[in-house]
Amino acid sequence: MLSVKARLLGHSHRPLPKRLKLKLLIASALLVQIVIPIGVQAALPKEIQTALNRADLSAANISIIITPVGTKNASRLPQIVQVIDSDDANKKSVANQTAPITVSKQEIVQQERALHNYTDDAYTYQSLENTPTVLPSKPVSKPDTVSNNENNSRNKAQKNDGFGATDTLTITPTIGPLKIHQPLVNHQPNVARTPASTMKLVPSFIALDTLGADFVWHTRVYHSGIIIGHRLHGDLIIQGSGDPKMTHQRLQQLLYQVQKTGIRHIDGDIIVDSAVFKNVSKDPSAFDNAPLRPYNASPDGFLVNFSSIGIQSYPLDNEQAQLTYTPQLANYQLPSVVNTRAAPCSQARYSLSPQWQTDKLVLNANLPDGCGEHVFYIAYPDAKDFAARAVAAKWQQMGNTLSGQVIAQETPYNPHNSYKKTGKNTYPKLGLAALSVSALPIVSYPSLNLTQQIYDINHFSNNVMTEQVALSISAYNKTNIADSNTKGATSLYQFGTPKSTDYPTALQSINQWWQTHLTTRPPYLTNGSGLCRDCTISAANLSELLTYAYSHPSFGAYVDSLGIAGVSGTISAHSKRLPESSAIGRAWIKTGTLDNVTSMAGYVKGQSGQDYTVVGLINTEQSLNSYTARPVLDAMLDWTAQQ
């Protein structure tokens, strides 16, 4: 058996920095129980081994760590959710548990069926439309909300500097030191594996720790020139903040705030400044040749509606269907009627075979009559062009006018380099339009807070939102904001804002956080969402992160973002695959799936009252049948919940 030192340093991602070697060697004496305890190759529980055999997988394909965390009488996990039949409302609670939240099995099934009948992309629909959950409503989690047996005391004090960043003053949590436990199962913990969407657990928690659960992005609006009456003689400048969830409704609210300042007519351009993120656009077909799927959308400094459009169909009586679009796109032709055909409904690429062209959307297939009233989501190939067209359409729909055009650019607005176009000629802007940018923003529009954003990220596995958050970690850290303050600046547009960031900088920030806070070697990321085949992480990485998060003041926001086994999120189908599972309603899990990856990670409350962290990563060399592989990890959750 390898020594502790050899196993700590043998995790084959990249060469280990000397300073990290020293830190790990020191930490190994104290944290050996968490990192690599004795018996790492112990036999898997028979239930998990049986599920592996049934899936025609070997123990070499899987890494699993199941570790007790906390103590039985001081759980930090939320209340369990008891899924009951409608005629079984008086079913007794499980022994040793506080009264659980109860939800009807029929309600869960009906909601899921209705969603999948109504849309081809339930997760995008839920992210955009804020659909109600089957769980009873409750207030939005505060950054330090403590569950169950703990006091709801403030563990972090925050002050907003007015520019989107939050200064976090850390106060020692009241839960006391975390008890260290030996893992119950610790199988191949250090094998670097492709994680798929369980990777989202990394940037979502690091953002909570560095930015704070109450952090908000501020999209600010400035203007050049001068306002006379309801007319702006100059340009309107929208300074993107990297807000992960600027939906079409929120874009309209932003422009309504501009309208409330008195501006109804713009004798100039609307400039969309997305310079907060640099060079982050990607080829939407590169990953899996599915460029229309919203999960392949690129991040952007001013991301609108996930760069995706909703197409809603309404059946007509003449073997046709009416189509409406959300949001509308200015100067772009969108067909309003489509013929129908006898066929079952499917995804947009099969049901409509849409194709984005330079100035119009072409539908190359008749709509299946099985769709009825249905919403399809398709991603636009260019985030900046999409944002520009959406802004122009919204501004006009509100009864306003624009003499120029909407220009989306990845450079800050500079009035001295501002030009107007007349036909084929270009001239410097003169007169009132050439006046400097307003000293203060006329609108500062806050986003939803980080707690609300990571709920969408982990519950609905939203890739592009994860990328926005991962990039924001480096854009909004205190050093970058301090460095961006320009001494002697004449306009607040020039300082107090985040420094532009890109993928290498963002990933370096995540790596540095890991080296500072944890003892396992950092995972290897090429993006933040897990939509990558060259990203790797070990079960030991995720287990340590989950253990660290458990004692963090923002744990409530983190765990509430995870799906509940058999109830909600991407783990809701757990109860279909394993109807009698003990984990139903008592496991908070992030899942991941690629063609050769199935993964789960999160927390489980055992029947004894003990909390556990669980990590299971399955990788194969060839394509993996996820329908046969998922039951292996379902068995992991079920076994843990029985403890």
Task: For 418-427, write each residue's pLDDT tens digit.
Answer: 555 555 555 5
What is the reported pLDDT for 279? 95
Q: What is the Cα–Cα distance from 586 to 606, expressed in whole angstroms?
A: 8
Count of CA atoms in the C-beta half-sphere (13 A) of 320: 7
At 320 the three-state DSSP class reads strand
Which range has the worst mean pLDDT, 74-83, 91-100, 233-242, 278-287? Answer: 91-100
160 bridge partner residues: 166
What is the reported pLDDT for 266? 97
What is the reported pLDDT for 425? 55
More confident residue, 159 or 65: 65
More confident residue, 335 or 411: 335
6-214+453-641: CATH superfamily: DD-peptidase/beta-lactamase superfamily (3.40.710.10)
Categorise residue 416: left if φ over 0, alpha if ψ from -120 to 50, beta otherwise: alpha
pLDDT band at 433, cuts 50/70/90?
low
Average pLDDT of the residues of the chain: 84
The amino acid sitting at 20 is: L
pLDDT at 619 over 50: yes
As a dihedral over the C-alpha atoms of residue 40, residue 46, residue 48, residue 49, rounded to 10 degrees, the angle is 80
- The DSSP H or E segment spanning 368 is strand 367-368
pLDDT band at 358, cuts 50/70/90?
very high
What is the reported pLDDT for 149? 36
pLDDT band at 485, cuts 50/70/90?
very low
Count of CA atoms in the C-beta half-sphere (13 A) of 485: 7
Give percent of the chain above pLDDT 70.
78
pLDDT band at 42, cuts 50/70/90?
low
Q: Cβ distance 365 to 292 under 8 Å?
A: no
What is the reported pLDDT for 137? 66
pLDDT at 25 over 50: no
What is the reported pLDDT for 477? 83
The pair of three-digit structure tokens given for residue 457, joined into one six-digit string? 């990220």
DSSP state of 97: S
Categorise residue 619: left if φ over 0, alpha if ψ from -120 to 50, beta otherwise: beta
The pair of three-digit structure tokens given for residue 228, joined into one six-digit string? 């006379």
What is the reported pLDDT for 441? 92
What is the reported pLDDT for 486? 43
pLDDT at 139 over 70: no
Range 181-198 average pLDDT: 95
Range 14-34 average pLDDT: 44
End-to-end Cα spacing for the chain: 28
Which range has the worst mean pLDDT, 22-31, 159-168, 426-435, 458-467? Answer: 159-168
pLDDT at 487 over 90: no
Range 519-523 average pLDDT: 96
Could you read off the pLDDT of 46-60 as tens digits, one per residue?
999 999 999 999 999
Q: Cβ distance 99 to 89 under 8 Å?
A: no
Could you read off the pLDDT of 563-616 as tens digits, one per residue?
999 999 999 999 999 999 999 999 999 999 999 999 999 999 999 999 999 999
At 42 the three-state DSSP class reads coil
What is the reported pLDDT for 132? 77
Query: Residue 261: how many CB atoms within 10 A of its CB?
Result: 14
Q: What is the Cα–Cα distance from 439 to 223, expressed in whole angstroms?
A: 9
Give percent of the chain above pLDDT 90.
70
More confident residue, 444 or 87: 444
Q: What is the Cα–Cα distance from 266 to 401, expressed in whole angstroms?
A: 6
pLDDT band at 100, cuts 50/70/90?
confident
Q: Tell me the pairing of strands 166-170 and 156-160.
A: antiparallel
More confident residue, 178 or 207: 207
pLDDT band at 413, cuts 50/70/90?
confident
What is the reported pLDDT for 432? 65
- Domain range list for the chain: 6-214+453-641, 217-447
pLDDT at 1 over 80: no
Q: What is the Cα–Cα distance from 234 to 232, expressed in whole angstroms?
A: 6
Place of tokens 């790797």: 536
What is the reported pLDDT for 87? 57
Categorise residue 176: left if φ over 0, alpha if ψ from -120 to 50, beta otherwise: left
Could you read off the pLDDT of 223-277 as tens digits, one per residue?
999 999 999 999 999 999 999 999 999 999 999 999 999 999 999 999 999 999 9
The pair of three-digit structure tokens given for residue 601, joined into one six-digit string? 């990670």
